[in-house]
Amino acid sequence: MQLLEEKIRKAMAAGRPALIPFLTAGFPDSARFWPTLMELDGNGADIIEIGVPFSDPVADGPVVEEASRRALSDGVNLRDLLKEMARRKGLIKAGVVLMGYFNPFLQYGLQELARDAEKAGVHGLIVPDLPYEESGPMRVALNQCGIALIPLVGPNTAEERMALYAAEGQGYVYVVSVMGITGQRSSQAPQVAETIKRARGVFSLPLALGFGLSEPSQLAELPADARPDAVVFGSALLRHLDAGKSAAAFLARWR
């Protein structure tokens, strides 16, 4: 079993959803990023998604976009991130996933990226703008280094297309709660339960729900048979951290 799947199934066996915080690399600033990452790791994160800053983040809402802009202005880049992660390899207990757009990964070189990511202790990648039909070269490069290319599906993903991802997917499935950009929302859209049920009928992998989660009460809105196996929170966490509050306090709500 791939490590990311193992982390989620361990949380499920304990009777809770796995916790997957998203943190933009270099946020809140270069000095606080690594302590914040380790604080998340030490306070209940099962998997940590690290956002790779990009200048044209088309799927990101204003909070994540601003975090990316600030990181880029501070000189944060993928190569230095992987070098620093390699120096800290073994210190992070959580699974580690890089989430970013295809262009920086392609510019890095897919084979080199896979090798350096493995050295850095990365277990998976999420690439929102990489369609299945164009994912072959990246999938091959990552597979050679034991790194999962995590499928991403949403309300508009047909079962036939989910089946393509299911045949190749590893780790977990990132289920987008709504069409549109990232950002915290006060409630779950009606199609969330239907999307999770459809995905559960196709995938054997655990399902992680993202885009818009900020409070545990949002999960209670979903029927018992349509609750995710893991929860991803990004914008709400970034706002919390930018207000000077601790990562531990944020995670405490979910534990």
pTM score of the predicted model: 0.93
Residue 17 is given by DSSP the state P
80 is catalytic: no
DSSP tag of 95: E
Q: ∠ CA 83-86-88 to the nearest 5 degrees?
A: 115
Q: Which of 39, 46, 60, 229 is catalytic?
A: 60
Q: From the candidates 5, 49, 65, 229, which is the catalytic residue?
A: 49
Domain encompassing residue 157:
3-252
Number of domains in the chain: 1
Q: Is 49 a catalytic residue?
A: yes
State how far the Cα of 134 lies from the Cα of 209, in Å rounded to an integer: 24
pLDDT at 187 over 50: no
Domain CATH code at residue 124: 3.20.20.70
Tokens of residue 13, six digits: 């066996």
For 194-223, what is each residue's pLDDT tens digit? 999 999 999 999 999 998 788 888 888 889
Backbone angles phi, psi at 164, to 5 degrees: -65, -45
For residues 85 and 123, the answer to whether their CB atoms sit within 8 Å is no
- Give percent of the chain above pLDDT 70: 93
184 has pLDDT over 50: no
HSE value, Cβ hemisphere, 13 Å, CA-based, for 150: 31
Share of the chain above pLDDT 90, in %: 80
Span of 38-42, 55-59, 105-109, 241-245 with lowest mean pLDDT:
55-59
